[in-house]
Amino acid sequence: MRKDKIKSIEINYFLVPFSIILFVTGIITYMTVNVRVEEKYQELKNTTLEIAKSYSSSLYQANQSSEIITELLDEKIRLASQAIMLIEDKEDNQALQSISETFQIDKINLFSPVGEILYSTNEELLGWKVYDDHPINAFMTSGKMILIEEVRRDTEDGRLYKFGYAKNPDGSVVQLGILAENIQAILADFELSNLVNKIADRDDVQDVFFINNSYEIVSSNLNEMIGRNVEDSQLRTELAENRIEINRVQLTFGNYYRIAVPIFSENVKIGSLLLRWPTDKIVRAVTQIILFGVGIFFIVILIIGGILFYAYHKSKINMKIAYYDELTGLPNSKYLMDYLDDILARTHKRKKAIFLLNFVRFGNFNMTYGYSYGNQILKKIVARIECNLEADEKIFRFDGDRFVIVFNDYQDQAALEVRADQLLKHFEEPVLIGLEKQYLELQVAIVELAHCYVSTDKLLQDATLAISHMKHHPTLKKIVFNDMMANNLKRQDQIVKALRKVISGKETAGFYLMFQPKLDLATNTIVGFEALARLKVAGLGNVPPDEFIAIAENKLLIFDLGLIILQQACQFIQKLQQTGYANISVAINISGHQLLREDFLTKIKNCMDEHQDCKPLLEFEITESVLFDHYEQVNDILGEVKKMGIKTSLDDFGTGFSSYSRLEELQIENVKIDKLFIDKIIEVDEKHLILSDIISMSHKMGLQVIAEGVENEEQVVYLRKHHCDMIQGYHLSRPLFDDQALDFLRGFNKDKETN
């Protein structure tokens, strides 16, 4: 076999589909999660894009306004510084304060040509001098007359200002500064800051920047960032791409998603909106998606895994129910059939054979002690066999108390017989059930799996046939099946079919009676015949009476067959009467199976009612063995037969019952001495023969004695000498057909008259 192992559910049949489902589900889950995460990022992009689109026009207008305002502020500082230079009354701190309020300037400082503050709106700065690397020093030493700076932090008070400078011909300088926050307040009136702050007010936005094409932060919700230039090269690259860019960035104060969206007006880029989104929310959303996906994945796997595990577990149970015996746990007959089918379907280098183990009369344990007790014995049997099995042997429970062992490798038939002897030896010891010992009788049928076997059914049939053959040979403990057994079975089947046809009346020609005459030694006349049944079967020819009678008894056909014999015997009696032989009796054999049938007497009476004239001339012959177990019952039946006027003879006398004390009570008229005693007449010295004693004792009990199997004159002389009543045998005549019997009768009587 491809897999020389006990049938079982392969876990791989479930693991493979489970692995495939696991893989496919994992891929689907992974792809679904990826799609959902991408959707989340796309949602972030779309939200940013929507913000950009919704505010792009306003941002453009606000940006334009911001630029205009910035230019106006620059112009204001320039004009204010020039105007202050023209005012004569400016060399007074109080006067500068008035000018500051008039021009809405937050800081005014007048520097001497050497860079010392002479006058200021902040008196604390008086006397302060410009140092070399200060921006004012750079202006004073330059050839410029006017300078407007970008917003920067003041070196003294640290606040953000937009400074402007004007230089007098004498080298003195006027410095004006407007606070950045005041600039922002001015710009707020023109919406850019408002728009940026509105965007920043969204829950999902951390920081907002509007950056112009020169990478300058024009507006932001972070005031300190306004006016700064973007220094990050990667960010500059992203801003220059003119497309939406999303990047996760890590700053000192946290992780963010940075989204840059270009802002266009009439297909002209005016700047970029830069948003910083905190990662917490989207990471949380993505994490939820992933966890949800993983959760769904595990739920699906658990459900499918549970279903597959249940299917696997259920299949194992079903397999066990279908292919294993519940009591012993052994593979059952169905499994055996599949196993042997597979063996027979393949060619094998190794020899294979089977043992059929049969425990004789095992049913007695069930009937005597109950089935539970019998089951305990079966378990002990299995345990004992399994302990002695070899590696290449497999045991199956065939049915009831029968087991089959399959041999997958053996040397020759002799090796199988040795193995059978070993098994038989193991069961010589009794099995112990509780404190009670029970002895088991084992029979082993051996069948070799030759190439002639094409079906398991035929193989097991032959094994069963071998066991059946052993019933006829009680001393056999093991047997090797051969073709002769099969031929015998086929022959038996043909005989059974022929008998059934005879009984049903479909075919009567093959079944008939022959008649062997009986001679009265005292009168030297033929006084009767014994009717002997004969059977002829197509293809078999004449079947010996012992054979078909035994088969008829075994198949429970003997009763109906006996009635046919009785009918034919009565017909022969009538034929004798019609021919002028009114006192010739006819004996027929009656088996124990017939006698013990409840309706035996009824059937006999019905037949006798049809043949009233036959009753005095009819004689039944029974064997001694019938009396062994049913003496009282049989004797009562014989009494009823006697009342009908039918005589009875005890056949084969001396070989069975042979109890003179009970013979006297038996309802019979004749005894037939077995041929065994007759043969001894010429084999043993006369003084050692007990035959004369048997004849004498029988006469004393009022019984007539018939000697059967008489074959020579010496036997006849001895029997005459000791007053035997009648003889029967080949010395007188072989069995004859009915017409031959009549001719014999006529010829014998004619010869007698002549003599």
- Is the domain spanning 69-176 CATH 3.30.450.20? The answer is yes
Residue 649: predicted pLDDT: 93
DSSP string, 568-588: HHHHHHHHHHHHT-TT-EEEE
pLDDT by residue (tens digit) across 686-696? 888 889 999 99
Residue 602: predicted pLDDT: 94
Whether residue 344 has pLDDT greater than 50: yes
Task: Name the fold adopted by 333-481.
Answer: Alpha-Beta Plaits (3.30.70)
Lowest mean pLDDT among 4-8, 136-140, 551-555: 4-8
Beta-strand relationship, 107-111 and 117-120: antiparallel
437 within 8 A of 431, measured Cβ to Cβ: yes
Whether residue 4 has pLDDT greater than 50: no
Residue 23: predicted pLDDT: 83
Whether residue 425 has pLDDT greater than 50: yes
Residue 70: predicted pLDDT: 65
Q: Mean pLDDT over all residues of the chain?
A: 84
Maximum mean pLDDT: which of 153-162, 324-333, 418-427, 524-533:
524-533
Residue 2: predicted pLDDT: 45
Residue 63 or residue 608, greater confidence: 608
pLDDT band at 205 (very low <50, low <70, confident <90, very high): confident
Side chain identity at 550, as an amino acid letter? A
Side chain identity at 308, as an amino acid letter? L
pLDDT by residue (tens digit) across 614-649? 999 999 999 887 877 788 899 999 999 999 999 999
- Is the domain spanning 492-754 CATH 3.40.630.10? The answer is no
110 within 8 A of 183, measured Cβ to Cβ: no
Report which of 40, 32, 31, 47 is spatially closest to residue 285, judged by C-alpha positions. Answer: 40
Residue 9: predicted pLDDT: 61
Whether residue 187 has pLDDT greater than 60: no
> Within the chain, which residue ranges are assigned CATH 3.20.20.450?
492-754
Lowest mean pLDDT among 17-26, 455-464, 553-562, 665-674: 17-26
pLDDT band at 176 (very low <50, low <70, confident <90, very high): confident
Percent of the chain scored above 70 by pLDDT? 88
3-class SS of residue 451:
coil
pLDDT band at 322 (very low <50, low <70, confident <90, very high): confident
Residue 304, Cβ neighbours under 10 Å: how many? 15
Residue 708 or residue 233, greater confidence: 708
pLDDT by residue (tens digit) across 277-298? 777 777 777 778 788 888 888 8
Maximum mean pLDDT: which of 15-24, 310-319, 451-460, 702-711:
702-711
pLDDT by residue (tens digit) across 536-548? 999 999 999 999 9
pTM for this model (two decimals): 0.58
Burial class (CB in 10 A: 0-12, 13-18, 19+), 540: middle
Residue 65 or residue 457, greater confidence: 457
Residue 512: predicted pLDDT: 95
Rounded Cα distance between 69 and 190, Å, is 8
pLDDT by residue (tens digit) across 559-572? 999 999 999 999 99
Residue 7: predicted pLDDT: 62
Interhelix angle 279-323/12-86, nearest 10 degrees = 180
> Within the chain, which residue ranges are assigned CATH 3.30.450.20?
69-176
621 within 8 A of 516, measured Cβ to Cβ: no
